[in-house]
Structure 1
């Protein structure tokens, strides 16, 4: 396995304290020959954000001045899966961001089925985590964590948890997949989960691949393809923490055309 992490473009969410740290670490990794990438894009609506003030523009670093949801609507809307053997694009999430990737797949579903009911529902059931809080409607994001302690800043979630000094026996992906299976067993038409899993990539920076987000959008598209009511469990997670949402698709409506006397499914 190569010691060099190869990426294409790396999008850092936020130009505040976390984004400044992540962009700086990526630059150090490239300088030390531990990473190769085309460019880092720091996204912040503040043109004078901390990352710009401390790091500045560089041949391999640029800044996008935009709200996060607006930026990703354009960036992900134009994205395509990497070809086999080619480097992928990655996203560096912020611990303080809303559930941006769910917001994107939700917007895509509403664009895909403009006449169909597409809603955000509360996530039912238990994930078995000591920390479990739900955002109020209409957000309904469920924020969960296996940590009931204060985690070290920039923890990379190693096999030995530094907070408790013993083995990390939990994995959030297993918890979310288990919830989806239990909901299906109870008769819920739940697809997925579509998971965007943040893992330590290089020099203390965690990422998930843009390809994973595109795959999540494909899961939603497949869930709605039959026209029946369906739901998709969507999560942006790491090993220890996560944000989980439930996207509900209503059945495709049936529109009657008086001129023909026939019916046609509208999707």
Structure 2
């Protein structure tokens, strides 16, 4: 029996509830979303005895509740934000003097599909097509037939970029189309960031898709 924290009550939050619940009928879930209607829709028709719903933003909820002894076994980030990055800014690094930073160009070279977000973050993908929502991350893409020899998470972690430290949260497959990481991995990311002094790239990635945000510690004026 596992305890899952699902951040986001949209389509993939609902799929996580359904698919993980089928795999383990004794599993417990805490699903978090700022929209009460989305929460109601996500849990409709499911075993409500095993599901708790909380109305809150993902980053704020983690900032208020994540600790070394958090009760969840897995965090499932399905909210439309980079959960690890948002948690760092609102939680572990709150009040510290960090500023956003555009990732270096060479980080965009690890994947053929690259989109830039409003904070200069990069959204990376090996896939130039719409992926099936029940993908199991096989060694060969079930749509294109292309080999997936090196996971995007591994490619990002292996990058050597002068003056930058790269920290990667690996989203591990837990059910078809559902991935996540353990709370202690997120807590470990926060501890690592405390010791970083310069430019840092924070990434979350699975086998084929990922997102990268940049942060730089501001120099303290004397």
Describe the superposition over 1:156-186 as per-residue Cα deviations: whole angstroms up to 9, x where unpaired.
211222112353123112321243x1x22xx
Question: Paired residue for 1:64?
Answer: 54
Q: 1:57 to 1:48 in 2, by over 3 A?
A: farther
In 2, the alpha carbon distance for the partners of 1:81 and 1:112 equals 23
Counterpart of 1:168 in 2: which secondary structure?
coil
Q: Does 1:97 align with 2:80?
A: yes
Q: 1:63 to 1:109 in 2, by over 3 A?
A: closer
Structure 1: runs of 5 or more not aligned: 1-5, 225-229, 255-267
User: Could you tell me how far 1:241 is from its partner in structure 2?
Assistant: 0.4
Q: Does 1:14 align with 2:8?
A: yes
Q: 1:26 to 1:128 in 2, by over 3 A?
A: closer
User: Could you tell me how far 1:124 is from its partner in structure 2?
Assistant: 1.0
Whether the 8 Å CA contact 2:100–2:215 is kept in 1: the answer is yes
Whether the 8 Å CA contact 1:11–1:92 is kept in 2: the answer is yes
User: Could you tell me how far 1:203 is from its partner in structure 2?
Assistant: 5.4
1:112-261 alignment, distance < 5 Å: 113=96, 116=97, 118-126=98-106, 127-136=109-118, 139-179=119-159, 181=160, 183-184=161-162, 188=163, 190-191=164-165, 193-202=166-175, 204-224=177-197, 230-254=198-222
Counterpart of 1:41 in 2: which secondary structure?
strand
Counterpart of 1:91 in 2: which secondary structure?
strand
TM-score by length of 1: 0.74
Cα RMSD (Å): 2.3
Q: Paired residue for 2:18, among 14, 18, 24? A: 24
User: Could you tell me how far 1:88 is from its partner in structure 2?
Assistant: 5.9
Q: Does 1:47 align with 2:30?
A: no
The structure with the larger Rg is 1
User: Could you tell me how far 1:202 is from its partner in structure 2?
Assistant: 3.5
Size of the aligned set, in residue pairs, is: 218
